[in-house]
Structure 1
Amino acid sequence: MTRIDLNSDLGESFGVYTLGNDEAMLEIVTSANVACGFHAGDPLVMAETIERAGRNGVAVGAHPSFLDLWGFGRRPILGERPADIEKHVIYQIGALQALAQAAGTSLQHVKTHGSLGNMAAEDDDLALAVARAIKAVDPGLIFIVMPGLATERAAEAVGLRLAREVYADRAYADNGNLVSRKLDGAVIHDADAAAERVLRMVEANEIVTAGGRRMPVSIDTVCVHGDTPGAVGMARRIRDRLAAAGLTIAPFGTWL
């Protein structure tokens, strides 16, 4: 591995409420996952994030979620039919795609947010609904997936390009999915520890779970959450550590 992408969930402010330091993060990451209004974001924030990303040479993707502004998309939404979720995802991608087109650019990818992402990683029907939605809007879009889980299988099943992602600041359960945020140790806050952990994952092509299991994976992109305390410092530390190890940091759409 000589190339790696850094991505972050951005555009998560809403109306008069500001979340995260997008301006600083867009000077560090190479891909931005932009909230599409269902868990955060609004048309003005979406457009501004697209424009800021363009000024920094950062690729833009849609970050669809369950319709859950109150819970920031992190509450499990049970009982929704996959066919209905498919339409929700199409709607969100389409909204961001239209704003990108108005700004003279295009989308690189789609990455699911919060509980939608966690549930799709373990539910083949839900994962297929997301993959079908992406393909329906634009078959050229890249699906960011959890390696070895249902979203990877879905991307392959419908013929989408995919980018396999690991998380810098989240612990892994033994099934390869993320540890619930409700549990102690689920979120990593130490920037140096996160940077060394990311480098080990990328160099060894493996995830080490909270239970000590080693899982071989392919890694194309690393996520640093933009809404956690110290997110900018952590992202900078990770980028510097990867660059010092000789990796080229660039949007995955330029080389996948």
Structure 2
Amino acid sequence: MTRTSIDLNADLGEGFGRWRLTDDERLLSVVTSANVACGFHAGDAATMRRVCALAAERGVRIGAQVSYRDLAGFGRRAMDVPADELAAEVAYQIGALEVFARAAGARVSYVKPHGALYNRVVHDPEQARAVVEGVLLTGGRLPLLGLPGSRLHACAREAGLPVVTEAFADRAYAEDGTLVPRGREGAVLHDPEAVVERSVSLARSGTVTSHSGLPLSVRARSLCLHGDTPGAVELARRVRARLEEAGVRVEAFT
């Protein structure tokens, strides 16, 4: 498979009050889709409003990055949330972001789970169905961004929702195509050149080497660049430049 275009997404708005983790303004000059924190793992009303306004100005697509209610743990701690409660909280987060997206003259265009929730819905059908139910509660048909082959995508398709497959430029993959847990050594790639080379390989041929050295096929329409890593903006710029040099169009997914 040779792909001619790919979307670049990044997690943005990951601050709270005076504290800011991501360089939203500069990253929005590189990416084509913005996963905006909706207040449960990071973000607050003023931050959501600011990031939506910046994204709308730059023509960047706005996505709701929904999470377990875990500000202290940045949404990365495993939690057991009843399905009906999770569905309501997903809808609540999407609705909050939609207010600020519309105020900026845009709209929420997709949904992406964050952290522990993202990893949970790869395998857990109950939690996956709850996320899908939360999207349906908003009254829209928003696409769900996630790992290829996930339970989330299976449940979304069953409900008639669009899905968008995603790959990670700076995360290690297990042999089954899932992400290596962050607590394991080598789970996050820190060599900028390795991240850039992997980005081109994922975009052009849909291939990546697993943590154990085996080749994997990862067919993704969107490529995630983490905004909370050191040098994130410069790395994102390098990735986009190398993709374009390789003949890959960088554009939002349809």
Q: Identify the TM-score tier after normalising by the shorter chain.
A: over 0.9
TM-score (norm 1): 0.94
Q: Which moved more, 1:100-109 or 1:43-52?
A: 100-109
- 3-state SS, counterpart of residue 15 of structure 2: coil
Q: Does 1:54 align with 2:43?
A: no
- Aligned partner of 1:29 in structure 2 is 31
- 3-state SS, counterpart of residue 5 of structure 1: strand
Contact 1:164 1:218 in 2 (8 A): yes
Shift in Å, 1:174: 2.2
Any runs of at least 4 consecutive aligned residues in structure 1 with deviations exceeding 3 A, and if so which?
none
Contact 2:16 2:44 in 1 (8 A): yes
Shift in Å, 1:68: 0.3
- Aligned partner of 2:18 in structure 1 is 16
Shift in Å, 1:82: 1.8
CA distance in 2, matches of 1:208, 1:216: 9
Contact 1:189 1:230 in 2 (8 A): no
- 1:43 aligned to which of 29, 38, 45: 45
- 3-state SS, counterpart of residue 163 of structure 2: strand
Q: Which moved more, 1:202-211 or 1:45-54?
A: 202-211
- Aligned partner of 1:233 in structure 2 is 234
- Aligned partner of 1:245 in structure 2 is 246
CA distance in 2, matches of 1:4, 1:242: 9
Q: Which moved more, 1:125-134 or 1:37-46?
A: 125-134
Shift in Å, 1:135: 2.5
Shift in Å, 1:136: 2.5
- 3-state SS, counterpart of residue 164 of structure 2: strand
1:86-144 CA distance string (max 9 Å, x none)? 11101100100111122221111100000010111111111111122112214331110
- Aligned partner of 2:160 in structure 1 is 159
- 3-state SS, counterpart of residue 108 of structure 2: coil
CA distance in 1, matches of 2:125, 2:207: 23
- Aligned partner of 1:191 in structure 2 is 192
- 3-state SS, counterpart of residue 33 of structure 1: strand
TM-score (norm 2): 0.95
CA distance in 1, matches of 2:70, 2:192: 30
Q: Does 1:218 align with 2:223?
A: no
- 3-state SS, counterpart of residue 40 of structure 1: coil
Segments of 5+ residues of structure 1 without an aligned counterpart are none
- Cα distance change, pair 223–141 in 1 and its aligned pair in 2 (3 A): same
- Aligned partner of 1:116 in structure 2 is 117
- 3-state SS, counterpart of residue 121 of structure 1: helix
Shift in Å, 1:214: 3.1
Shift in Å, 1:6: 0.1
CA distance in 1, matches of 2:149, 2:83: 21
- Whichever residue aligns with residue 181 of structure 1, its letter is R
**Percent identical:** 43
- 3-state SS, counterpart of residue 39 of structure 1: coil
Equivalent pairs counted in the alignment come to 252
